[in-house]
C-alpha cells in the first residue's frame, strides 16, 4: 500500500511538471484565448537603460498574477532580441477607442488613438458637423433668411387685387339687377323677424355702423401696410374678399327678399333694364364704395347676406391674425376691434337695414372662409390634393395653391417701415411678435 501511494504521488508530480512546461511554452496562445477583447494593452515607456517595458491597466485577480511574470519576461526578450516596440506598434494591437472630444482640435481620424497625429481645422469640423453617421449631408440654413420662405410675389398680389375688383363689380351688378325685382313695400311688408318686430327702427344707427366700418377698414389697411410681409397679407385679404363678394352676388340674386325697413329711401325701379342702365348703376355705387352714408347707395335688395357684417367681422379677424398678441396695448386693440364690430352690427340691426338671418349668415360665411384659408396656408401638409385632405375638395383649392404654394408656413407678426426713406427707420422699425 505504501508503495502504491508513493507511485501515485510521483505520477502527479511528473504531470504537474509537464503541465508547467507546456504552460510556459504556450503562454502566448493561452493569453490570447483568456484575454477579453476590451483589455487595455497598456503603453510603452522607455527606461534609463534604453529598454522598454509594458505597463498593464485594468488587469487584476488571479489572471493578472498568472500573466504578469510572463509579460515582463516576454517584453525583455523582445527588447533584447529585436527592434524596439514603438507606441504605434502597440496601437495596432489595441481595440477601438472612443472618438476624441469635439473640442479637441488635435485629433486623429483613425479609431486607434486620441493623440496628436495632426491638427483638424475648424472648417473641417464644420464640414463634419454637416453630415451624420448615415452619410447624409445636413445643410444648416440660418433662421433669419425669410425671403425664400415668404416670397413677396408682388405680381400675384396685383392679380389677386384684380380678381377682388372683378367680384366687387359682380356684386354691384347683381344689386343693380335685384333692385328692379324687390317686392313693392306697399304690398309686401317686412318678413317676420324676432329682432325687427321687437325693436323700433332708428335711421341714424345705420350711419353710425358705416362710420365704424370706415374707421375699421382704413386703420386695418394702414396697419397691414407696415407689416413686414405686407404683399402676402394683402394677397390673402384680396382673395378672401373675392370669395365673399362672389358668394354674396349669388345669394342676393337667387333669392330676393322684401325690404326690411319701411323708411329707407330707394331709387325708382325701371321696367326696362338695359346694359347701359346697369352700368350707370354700378358706377354710381362704386363712387360711394357701396355705403349709404355717402349718399350713393340708393338701390335696395342686397339682403342675404349682410355686407356690413362681412366687413366688420373681417377687419377684426385680420387685426387678430396679423398683429402681435403679447403686448398689453395690442391686446386692447384686439378687444377694441371686437367691440367696434359688435357695436356696428347692433347699430345695423337698430336701423333695420338687414334681417337677423343676414347677419348670422354673414358671420358664419366670413369666419369659415377665413379660418379654412389660414388653416390651409399655415400647414404645409395640407397644400396638396389628397384623399385624406378633405379641405382640398373646396372648389377654390387650386386657386389657393397657385397663390400660396411658395409660402413656407405661418407668417411672423413682424412690422417694418414700408418706404425706402428714411433708411435709418428700416433698422429700428422691425418688431416681432
Displacement of CA 281 from its chain's centroid (Å): 46
For residue 316, CA distances in Å to 309, 321, 333 come to: 11, 9, 10
Is 308 among the residues known to form the active site?
yes
| Active-site pick, 308, 334, 374, 426 | 308
Cis peptide bond prior to 305, omega within 30° of 0: yes
| Active-site pick, 227, 297, 352, 354 | 354
Which of 240, 259, 363, 243 has the alpha carbon at shortest distance from 303?
259
Is 354 among the residues known to form the active site?
yes
Is 105 among the residues known to form the active site?
no
| Active-site pick, 284, 358, 374, 416 | 358
Residues catalogued as catalytic: 308, 354, 358
Amino acid at each position: 500500500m505504501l508503495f502504491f501511494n508513493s507511485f501515485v504521488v510521483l505520477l502527479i508530480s511528473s504531470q504537474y511538471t509537464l503541465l508547467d512546461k507546456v504552460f510556459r511554452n504556450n503562454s502566448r496562445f493561452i493569453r490570447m484565448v483568456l484575454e477579453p477583447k476590451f483589455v487595455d494593452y497598456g503603453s510603452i515607456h522607455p527606461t534609463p537603460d534604453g529598454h522598454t517595458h509594458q505597463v498593464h491597466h485594468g488587469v487584476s485577480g488571479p489572471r493578472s498574477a498568472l500573466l504578469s511574470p510572463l509579460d515582463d519576461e516576454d517584453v525583455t526578450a523582445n527588447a533584447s532580441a529585436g527592434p524596439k516596440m514603438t507606441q504605434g506598434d502597440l496601437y495596432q494591437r489595441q481595440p477601438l477607442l472612443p472618438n476624441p472630444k469635439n473640442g479637441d482640435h488635435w485629433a486623429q481620424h483613425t479609431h486607434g488613438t486620441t493623440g496628436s497625429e495632426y491638427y483638424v481645422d475648424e472648417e473641417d469640423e464644420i464640414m463634419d458637423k454637416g453630415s451624420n453617421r448615415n452619410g447624409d449631408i445636413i445643410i444648416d440654413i440660418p433662421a433669419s433668411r425669410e425671403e425664400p420662405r415668404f416670397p413677396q410675389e408682388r405680381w400675384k398680389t396685383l392679380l389677386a387685387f384684380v380678381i377682388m375688383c372683378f367680384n366687387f363689380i359682380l356684386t354691384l351688378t347683381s344689386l343693380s339687377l335685384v333692385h328692379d325685382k324687390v317686392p313693392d313695400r306697399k304690398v309686401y311688408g317686412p318678413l317676420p323677424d324676432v329682432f325687427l318686430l321687437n325693436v323700433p327702427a332708428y335711421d341714424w344707427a345705420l350711419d353710425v355702423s358705416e362710420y365704424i366700418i370706415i374707421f375699421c377698414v382704413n386703420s386695418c389697411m394702414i396697419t397691414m401696410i407696415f407689416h413686414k410681409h405686407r404683399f402676402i397679407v394683402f394677397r390673402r385679404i384680396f382673395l378672401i374678399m373675392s370669395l365673399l363678394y362672389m358668394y354674396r352676388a349669388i345669394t342676393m340674386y337667387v333669392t330676393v327678399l322684401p325690404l326690411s325697413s319701411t323708411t329707407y329711401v330707394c331709387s325708382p325701379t325701371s321696367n326696362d333694364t338695359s346694359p347701359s342702365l346697369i352700368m350707370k348703376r354700378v358706377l354710381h355705387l362704386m363712387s360711394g364704395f357701396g355705403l349709404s352714408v355717402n349718399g350713393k347707395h340708393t338701390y335696395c335688395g342686397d339682403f342675404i347676406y349682410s355686407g356690413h357684417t362681412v366687413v366688420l367681422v373681417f377687419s377684426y379677424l385680420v387685426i387678430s391674425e396679423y398683429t402681435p398678441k403679447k403686448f398689453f396695448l395690442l391686446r386692447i386693440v384686439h378687444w377694441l376691434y371686437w367691440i367696434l364690430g359688435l357695436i356696428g352690427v347692433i347699430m345695423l340691426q337698430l336701423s333695420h337695414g338687414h334681417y337677423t338671418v343676414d347677419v348670422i349668415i354673414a358671420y358664419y360665411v366670413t369666419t369659415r372662409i377665413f379660418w379654412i384659408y389660414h388653416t390651409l396656408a399655415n400647414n404645409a401638409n395640407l397644400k396638396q390634393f389628397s384623399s385624406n385632405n378633405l379641405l382640398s375638395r373646396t372648389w377654390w383649392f387650386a386657386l389657393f395653391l397657385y397663390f400660396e404654394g411658395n409660402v413656407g408656413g405661418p407668417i411672423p407678426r413682424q412690422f417694418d417701415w414700408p418706404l425706402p426713406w428714411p433708411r435709418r427707420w428700416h433698422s429700428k422699425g422691425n418688431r416681432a411678435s
